[in-house]
Amino acid sequence: MIGAVIGDIVGSIYEWDRIKTKDFPFFSYHCDFTDDSVCTVAVADILLHDLPPAETMQEWCRRYPRRGYGGMFGDWIYFDEPEPYGSYGNGAAMRVSPAAFLYRGDLAAALVASDRVTDITHNHPEGIKGARATTHAIWLAYRGENVANIREVIAAEYNYDLTRTVDDIRPDYFFNETCQDTVPQAITCALESDSFEDAVRNAISLGGDADTLAAIAGPIAEALYGIPQDIRERAENRYLADAPDIREVIQEMYRVAGE
């Protein structure tokens, strides 16, 4: 789960200043957590404590305003009676890693949890699918499935093209906020990597919606490789230093999972 937050932090400065290389400082002075991290932690809080999804998501996002929320979602945060608005944006996928993390022993439960926290906003079939595919990929990685099998299952189950390599995707890839053109690419970035850091670098190097690509690839890579302790400590102690409530939910999730 914290793989999503770290991916978001590292990618935060490249969302609008896009790059097409893996050669960049992994953490920089100007990095910060964005809406991707806030929404991921909100999902964790919802699932850990069985809280009302829409109201809890609104509460967290209102607590951390001006974190780069998309236009429709940014309005939704302040609705008195929040209703889903048919989105298939990649915000559906960047926030669902806690579902896979918390329900690692039960795929059906993980997918139900994914739907529960997605349907409150991104209830378009492509939004639901993008969140489910991300959850499923993370779940398979936690179960110890090899990369080839994860690729095969996700491609078959969700009809995503996972045949292109990162080098194939990068030259003509551009900023995109849909699940359809973010989730398959982010999954590829994780499955083609050789470490957590390499997966995040792959995602950012595509030159797209960098923080969200990395927030999707990050938790898959976390499940595949784990996260080096120094990377995790730097994220928590520097970039989340002024967000004790975010750190608390993250730590609770790992305690509940027995890690």
pLDDT one-digit tens code per residue, 197-253 = 999 999 999 999 999 999 999 999 999 999 999 999 999 999 999 999 999 999 999
Give the CA angle between residues 64, 67, 72 to the nearest 5°.
Answer: 100
CATH tag, 2-256: 1.10.4080.10
The helix (run of H) or strand (run of E) holding residue 244 is helix 244-256
pTM: 0.97
- Distance separating alpha carbons of residues 255 and 23, to the nearest angstrom: 35
Going by the DSSP 8-state scheme, the letter that residue 237 receives in this structure is I
Task: Pick the closest to residue 136 from 116, 155, 163 (CA basis).
Answer: 155
SS3 39: helix
Q: Mean pLDDT, consecutive 10-residue segments, the chain of 259 residues?
A: 97 94 95 97 98 98 95 96 96 97 96 98 98 98 97 98 97 96 98 98 97 98 97 96 96 86
Contact 128, 92 (CB under 8 A): yes
Contact 77, 69 (CB under 8 A): yes
Q: Tens digit of pLDDT for each residue in 52-67? A: 999 999 999 999 999 9
Residue 42 φ then ψ, to 5°: -60, -45
Going by the DSSP 8-state scheme, the letter that residue 4 receives in this structure is H
Give pLDDT, residue 124: 98
- Distance separating alpha carbons of residues 189 and 31, to the nearest angstrom: 21
The helix (run of H) or strand (run of E) holding residue 132 is helix 125-142
Give pLDDT, residue 218: 98
- Distance separating alpha carbons of residues 15 and 85, to the nearest angstrom: 24
b/e string for 209-248 if b means 16 or more Cβ within 10 A? bbbbbbbbbbbbbbbbbebeeebbebbbeebbeebeebbe
Give pLDDT, residue 104: 93
The helix (run of H) or strand (run of E) holding residue 47 is helix 35-49
Task: Pick the closest to residue 150 from 96, 213, 100 (CA basis).
Answer: 100
Give pLDDT, residue 16: 87
Length of the chain: 259
Task: Pick the closest to residue 32 from 57, 55, 11 (CA basis).
Answer: 11
